[in-house]
Structure 1
Amino acid sequence: MFRTLFYTLTAWVWLFPVPDSAIAEAANEKAFTAARAALVEAIAADVAATGKAIGAQRLDPAVIRAMKTVRRHRFVPPESADRAYDNTPLPIGYGQTISQPYIVALMSNLAALNPGDRVLEVGTGSGYQAAVLAEMGMQVYSMEIIRPLAGTAAETLRAEGYDQVSLRVGDGYFGWEEKGPFDGIIVTAAADHIPPPLLSQLKNGGRMVIPVGGPFSVQQLVLVAKDEDGALTTRQILPVRFVPLTRRP
């Protein structure tokens, strides 16, 4: 009986061989998994090198798990897939970039979020930062002003299984008031000041991480903390370079 079943299964495999494309995709995924692990090591080295500035020598394990899991190569243009796990920003079209993985991890860590928290992201871009937050268990509300980017990001996030990300096309300067207040806000483009509407939508006890500065000047990654009484404190973390926050004319 066993021998007959074995021969039958062998015959089916012979009749329906695994396509070369499937074999190649499996090999690529294995290589990408290894590349993500190497990227996490590079991020850890950057964290150690900037530990004094960022106030930590290591990242939250939840951030590390998310960086190891989210498939960044799905969030970059196909022609950049071979560079997806370089620890560097990459162009995604329309004058925008996908942020450096170290910065994505750092901003996620600075926000000090917990699973189930509601977080607003201003500047969806390719959707990578939103995916990292979703992988950490957050309920993500993400805004993107460039409609084609928003459409592509929505498709990628859906294909990757991040259904807890809600995406809206609009001017992120004004936030998403009807979905607030938020436990955390992450802004992925530089503003010359901290937008007051975002401050008002930050929950007491929450944090905002935002690059502040002009497009052709040194920007600072700023951590804004709102205490339980609503008082605000700010701290400059380190110099960064982000694309400017795009506004409606």
Structure 2
Amino acid sequence: MAWRSGGATNTALIDNLLRNHLLSSPALAVAFKSVDRAHYAPTDPYADSPQPIGFRATISAPHMHANAAEALLPYLKPGGKVLDVGSGSGYLTRVFAEMVKPGGKVVGVDHISELVEMSIQNTQKSVEGKALLDTGVLRFVRGDGRIGLNGEGPWDAIHVGAAAKGLHEELVEQLANPGRLFVPVEEESGGQWIWVVDKDESGKVTRKREYGVRYVPLTDHPGERG
């Protein structure tokens, strides 16, 4: 039922994701309902489809955001630390912050400075979002998320919101024990697959190829070299 879960309101959208079994966690449903997607998607925000946000970037379809959050759910706990690579307009980053408050930390990192500023402005559209920024639970920074964010981990969960060229071992190294990485990977064949990388309490790493997807690529700012 992917692509058929859109609604007239934010609440209707999330209820349809639940009804179509694309979202199953009650805690995540509450988090998603508390974040109005209209603050982060400039056009047709409650459609279950990706939307352009400029700079050759998109906000993913709601069912893909739900799927990513469900995959990371065991690591989205109060006090947890989450890194969101390719955070775009800031939507899923904000949902993660809802899951780890109080006491947690979520950092959204993006190559594109205009998107970093956009995500901050989007989050400030609600009193609750502004409070998360003011208290430091949520931050957005410009940087090369492909190499993680040194000095601020380890991260309980790392989400990558665009197709990477590989699993980026720097991100795996920055996972906590235990921790989980969710990343779409573009393969040599041209296809894209979701990979879930787990690190257990002893530091043992396991990698699992999940299912085919189509994301925009994880790239530099248009016109920049990186």
Q: Is the shorter-chain TM-score for this pair beyond 0.5, marking a shared fold?
A: yes
Q: Which residue of 1 aligns with 2:216?
A: 243
Which residue does 1:86 correspond to in 2?
47
Tell me: CA distance 1:97–1:152, structure 2 relative to 1, closer, same or farther (3 Å): same
In 2: Cα distance, 1:74 partner to 1:239 partner: 29
- Identity, % of aligned pairs? 36
2:10 to 11, 14, 36: 36
**Counterpart in the other structure of 2:118:** 152
Deviation at 1:238, TM superposition (A): 1.9
Verify: 1:65 aligned to 2:30, yes or no.
yes
| 5+ residue gaps, structure 1 | 1-32, 49-57
- Indicate which of 81, 97, 101 corresponds to 2:58: 97
Aligned AA (1:231): K
Show the counterpart of 2:190.
217
Partner of 2:3: none
Q: CA deviation at 1:127?
A: 0.4
* Stretches of structure 2 lacking an aligned partner (at least 5 in a row): 1-6
Equivalent position amino acid for 1:182 in 2 = W
Query: CA offset at residue 40 of structure 1?
Result: 1.6
The residue number in structure 2 matching 1:27 is none
Conserved 8 A contact 1:209-1:223: yes
**Quick check: which one's helix share is greater?**
1
Aligned length, in residue pairs: 204
Greater C-alpha radius of gyration: 1
TM-score (norm 2): 0.84
2:21 is the counterpart of 1:47 = yes
Matching residue within 121, 124, 137 for 2:87: 124
* Consecutive aligned runs of 4 or more in structure 1 exceeding 6 Å deviation: none
Asked if 1 retains the 8 angstrom alpha-carbon contact of 2:39 and 2:125, the reply is: no
**Which residue of structure 1 aligns with residue 109 of structure 2?**
143
Q: Report if aligned partners of 1:215, 1:243 keep a CA contact under 8 Å in 2.
A: no
What SS does structure 1 have at the residue aligned with 2:9? helix
Q: What is the CA-CA distance between 1:45 and the residue it aligns to?
A: 4.5
Structure 2 residue aligned with 1:179, among 152, 175, 178? Answer: 152
Most deviating of 117-126 and 35-44: 35-44
* AA in 2 matched with 1:166: R
- Counterpart-to-counterpart distance in 1, 2:94 and 2:83: 13
- C-alpha deviation, 1:177, in angstroms: 1.1
- 1:25 is matched with none
